[in-house]
């Protein structure tokens, strides 16, 4: 008799397989219905709906005194909804009627309308419509119900190129941008995003939540009906530390300078807050949000001057470096501040003659006179006594040779020229190197923001604060989500007597020396002129200064660099004066007739309305 019973082991194996299959099915069901249910429902909903997005207003960028520097204004776009209209004479007439006000090619517009009607898909025909065109199209809606005008927000810079290097600009996404932002739900392939400056650095804070018109479509993507229109939500507002009138004074001064090129940086020495950050040449960020006829009006072949002179331009500091040399001399104890050196207009270094900027000479000069009159020969002698290592040490202590750390891309660190670096390069150090170093020539390079840090540290007694320009960020509901705090990153340690002598010398510069053009009635101004030799053209002009009123701690320190300005006393000092007057405008004597340079009017009600290095053989000139 044949035993037809299946072995128990084989039955157990089959039950295990059946149980495993059931578990896999169960797990898959749980994954689809529970774990991933919301995801798959969203995909299904996405397949059922299409969205015509309406760009939300980006957050405003506002100065410390309430001026909206970047804002948004209404923008009108024309959308065609096919509805029941079929390709034919009616669409021909619509294309012909729309072509003229839109400034569009009739044949191309007709093809777009026919394609939309054939596939029953809505299409955006135009955007950023001027008000006059929008009014004409509004009248056509009654005749051609398939067209509709939707309102979006368009970025707008009321004062054009004002503060452009800090604010930056926006533009359409490119493939690289889309790869970066595609995972974030608030972006579409044609979104406009920040491309430079604050617009790029604070993209997520400034971007609002877009609204849109939600459309129901069938399985083939054809339009069934309009479901709803969802309102946008604006982005966060960013409040700056920038003083609008100080910024206007800086830009106006540079525009009127001999070259129209350069940079101005003004800081609050108590915190490091940036009061003005100007760089010329500049650009108008509005050009990147123009379209159609407006964009055609832009000059052909124009190059965008994105280079930020304030942070990226490196220049020999010239005689403003004598502040550092003076600190090294006094701290070394090798030169008494009362000791005098004779200046005949030149210095004999043995193998070479180094000239003073004043060829007639200054006669017998002590420390205060040497700083006040920027006597090169005094600093040649005193610098040799102190030694190049001491000068290099204090240059680094004042933050030179490295970026300040301001939260902007591309900042340069400049170069500290000293014997330790030469030792690293296994190269010799000569007496002429020390002489050039003492007066800020040779290979020493600084940026305007570093120069502002230098004079700011003198003003506050030696603290180096990291410059910052964002005061606080506010959400649309009024909640402050971020507030700046001053951050010190270094300290310059000098004897009280050294600080006192440096300040006395800087006061003499403005009171009776080379910086008299910066005098302000009722204000104590401390400054230093500088002219940096330039082998590629005319010399660059420098002026650094800080000011106090009634003995109170200084609220403003400023550095001015005018490219090819030739003389710091005449080209740079008047600009610094105008910036200081703007910052201290509420503290100036009532009988002072001069007003700050014209700039953006303070108005937050209607922000959209604009208002009507080379080595020096001959010595450096101040």
How many domains, in total, are found in the chain? 2
214: left (phi over 0), alpha (psi -120 to 50) or beta: beta
Tens digit of pLDDT for each residue in 240-297? 999 999 999 999 999 999 999 999 999 999 999 999 999 999 999 998 876 544 444 4
Q: What is the mean pLDDT of residues 10-37?
A: 70
Helix (H/G/I), strand (E/B), else coil: 179 = helix
Among 314, 258, 276, residue whose Cα is nearest residue 162: 276
Residue 35 lies in a domain: no
Residue 383 lies in a domain: yes
Helices (H), 125-218: 131-140, 164-167, 175-181, 197-201, 203-206
- Residue 56, pLDDT > 90, answer no
Residue 130 lies in a domain: yes
- Residue 114, pLDDT > 90, answer no
**CB distance 147 to 79 below 8 Å:** yes
Q: What is the mean pLDDT of residues 174-193?
A: 80
CA angle at residue 108 from 106 to 112, to 5 degrees?
115
CATH number at residue 223: 3.90.1310.10
Residue 123 sits in the same domain as residue 189: yes
**pLDDT at position 39, please?**
53
Residue 354 sits in the same domain as residue 268: yes
Q: 156: which strand partners? A: 71
Q: What is the mean pLDDT of residues 189-194?
A: 82
Distance of CA 28 to the CA centre of its chain: 52
Residue 290 lies in a domain: no
**CB distance 440 to 532 below 8 Å:** yes
Query: Hey, what are 195's tokens?
Result: 């491309």
Question: Could you tell me the residue range of the domain that residue 191 belongs to?
Answer: 49-240
Helix and strand counts by DSSP (H, E) for the chain: 21, 23
**pLDDT at position 146, please?**
75
- Residue 604, pLDDT > 80, answer no
Q: What are phi and psi of 442, to 5 degrees?
A: 75, -135
Query: Hey, what are 507's tokens?
Result: 């006061």
Residue 353 sits in the same domain as residue 469: yes
**CB distance 559 to 542 below 8 Å:** yes
Band of residue 34 on the pLDDT scale cut at 50, 70, 90: low
Domain closes at, from 217, 240, 263: 240
Helix (H/G/I), strand (E/B), else coil: 523 = strand
Residue 415 sits in the same domain as residue 317: yes
Residue 183 sits in the same domain as residue 331: no
**pLDDT at position 361, please?**
95
CATH number at residue 498: 3.40.710.10
Residue 442 sits in the same domain as residue 576: yes
CA distance 396 to 380: 20
Q: Tokens 């993507």 map to which residue?
A: 221
Residue 26 lies in a domain: no
**pLDDT at position 388, please?**
96
Tens digit of pLDDT for each residue in 271-283? 999 999 999 999 9
**pLDDT at position 63, please?**
97
**pLDDT at position 590, please?**
57
Residue 139 lies in a domain: yes
Q: What is the mean pLDDT of residues 335-352?
A: 94
Q: Which of 22-36, 519-533, 578-592 has the highest mean pLDDT?
A: 519-533
Residue 230 sits in the same domain as residue 140: yes
Please list, in sequence order, all residues whose beta carbon lies within 8 angstroms of the beta carbon of residue 326, skipping any fewer than 6 positions away.
Answer: 367, 371, 379, 382, 501, 502, 505
b or e along 92-104 (b: 16 or more beta carbons within 10 Å of the residue's beta carbon)? eebbebbbebbeb
Q: Note the residue count of the chain.
A: 622
Residue 526 sits in the same domain as residue 569: yes
Evaluated on CA atoms 242, 246, 252, 258, the torsion sign reads: negative
**pLDDT at position 609, please?**
30
Residue 222 sits in the same domain as residue 364: no
- Residue 593, pLDDT > 70, answer no
Band of residue 377 on the pLDDT scale cut at 50, 70, 90: very high
Q: How high is the mean pLDDT of the chain?
A: 84
Tens digit of pLDDT for each residue in 413-454? 999 988 987 666 667 889 999 999 999 998 999 999 999 999
Tens digit of pLDDT for each residue in 119-169? 767 777 887 787 778 777 877 776 777 777 777 788 999 999 999 999 999
Tens digit of pLDDT for each residue in 550-561? 999 999 999 999
CA distance 382 to 324: 12
**pLDDT at position 308, please?**
94
Band of residue 35 on the pLDDT scale cut at 50, 70, 90: low
Band of residue 618 on the pLDDT scale cut at 50, 70, 90: very low
Give the DSSP letter of residue 493.
-
Residue 205 sits in the same domain as residue 252: no
Please list, in sequence order, all residues whose beta carbon lies within 8 angstroms of the beta carbon of residue 145, skipping any fewer than 6 positions away.
Answer: 83
**CB distance 221 to 215 below 8 Å:** no
Q: What is the mean pLDDT of residues 2-27?
A: 70
CA distance 318 to 297: 43
CA distance 541 to 265: 14
b or e along 290-327 (b: 16 or more beta carbons within 10 Å of the residue's beta carbon)? eebeeeeeeeeeeeebbebbbbbbbbbbbbbbbbbbbb
- Residue 184, pLDDT > 80, answer no
Tell me what percent of the residues of the chain surpass a pLDDT of 70: 81
Residue 78 lies in a domain: yes
Residue 189 lies in a domain: yes
Please list, in sequence order, all residues whose beta carbon lies within 8 angstroms of the beta carbon of residue 545, skipping any fewer than 6 positions away.
Answer: 455, 506, 510, 515, 518, 525, 526, 527, 528, 557, 558, 573, 576, 580
CA dihedral defined by 272, 277, 279, 283, rounded to 10 degrees? 140
Residue 79 sits in the same domain as residue 186: yes
Residue 212 sits in the same domain as residue 249: no
More confident residue, 394 or 12: 394
């Amino acid at each position: 008799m044949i035993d037809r019973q299946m072995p128990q082991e084989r039955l157990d194996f089959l039950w295990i397989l059946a149980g495993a299959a059931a578990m896999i099915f169960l797990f898959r069901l749980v994954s689809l219905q529970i774990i991933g249910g919301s995801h798959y429902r969203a995909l299904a909903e996405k397949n059922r709906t299409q969205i015509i997005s309406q760009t939300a207003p980006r957050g405003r960028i506002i100065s410390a005194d309430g001026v909206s520097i970047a804002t948004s204004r209404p923008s009108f776009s024309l959308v065609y909804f096919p509805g029941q209209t079929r390709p034919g004479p009616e669409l021909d007439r619509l294309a012909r009627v729309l072509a003229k006000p839109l400034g569009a090619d009739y044949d191309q517009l007709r093809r777009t309308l026919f394609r939309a009607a054939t596939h029953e898909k809505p299409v955006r025909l135009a955007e950023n419509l001027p008000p006059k065109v929008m009014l004409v199209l509004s009248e056509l809606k009654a005749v051609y119900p398939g067209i509709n005008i939707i309102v979006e927000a368009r970025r707008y810079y009321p004062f054009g190129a004002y503060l452009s290097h800090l604010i930056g600009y926006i533009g359409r996404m490119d493939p690289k941008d889309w790869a970066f932002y595609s995972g974030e739900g608030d972006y579409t392939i044609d979104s406009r995003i920040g491309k430079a400056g604050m617009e790029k650095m604070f993209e997520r804070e400034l971007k609002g939540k877009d609204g849109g018109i939600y459309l129901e479509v069938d399985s083939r993507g054809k339009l069934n009906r309009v479901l709803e229109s969802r309102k946008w939500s604006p982005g966060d507002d960013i409040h700056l530390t920038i003083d609008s009138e100080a910024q206007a004074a800086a830009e106006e001064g540079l525009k009127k300078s001999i070259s129209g090129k350069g940079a101005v940086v003004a800081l609050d020495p108590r915190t490091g807050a940036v009061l003005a950050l100007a760089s010329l040449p500049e650009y108008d960020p509005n050009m990147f949000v123009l379209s159609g006829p407006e964009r055609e009006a832009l000059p052909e072949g124009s190059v965008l001057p994105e280079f930020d002179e304030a942070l990226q331009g490196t220049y020999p500091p010239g005689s403003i470096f004598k502040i550092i040399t003076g600190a090294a001399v006094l701290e070394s104890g090798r030169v008494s501040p009362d000791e005098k050196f004779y200046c005949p207009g030149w210095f004999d270094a043995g193998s070479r003659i180094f000239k003073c900027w004043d060829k007639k000479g200054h006669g017998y000069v002590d420390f205060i006179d040497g700083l006040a009159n920027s006597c090169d020969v005094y600093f040649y002698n005193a610098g040799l006594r102190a030694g190049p290592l001491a000068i290099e040490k204090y240059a680094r202590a004042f933050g030179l040779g490295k970026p300040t750390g301001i939260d902007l891309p591309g900042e340069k660190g400049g170069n500290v020229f000293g014997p330790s670096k030469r030792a690293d390069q296994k190269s010799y150090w000569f007496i002429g190197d020390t002489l050039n170093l003492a007066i800020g020539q040779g290979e020493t390079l600084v940026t305007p923001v570093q120069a502002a840090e230098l004079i700011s540290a003198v003003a506050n007694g030696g603290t180096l604060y990291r410059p910052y320009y964002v005061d606080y960020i506010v959400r649309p509901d009024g909640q402050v989500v971020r507030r700046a705090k001053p951050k010190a990153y270094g300290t310059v340690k000098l004897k009280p007597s050294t600080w006192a002598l440096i300040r006395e010398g800087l006061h003499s510069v403005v009171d009776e020396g080379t910086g008299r053009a910066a005098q302000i009635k009722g204000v104590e101004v401390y400054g230093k002129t500088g002219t940096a030799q330039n082998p590629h053209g005319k010399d660059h002009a420098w002026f650094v200064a800080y000011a106090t009123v009634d003995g109170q701690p200084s609220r403003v320190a400023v550095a001015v660099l005018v490219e090819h300005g030739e003389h710091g006393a005449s080209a740079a000092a008047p600009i610094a004066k105008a910036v200081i007057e703007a910052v201290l405008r509420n503290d100036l004597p009532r009988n002072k007739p001069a007003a700050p340079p014209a700039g953006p009017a303070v108005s937050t009600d209607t922000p959209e309305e604009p208002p009507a290095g080379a080595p020096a053989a001959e010595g450096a000139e101040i």
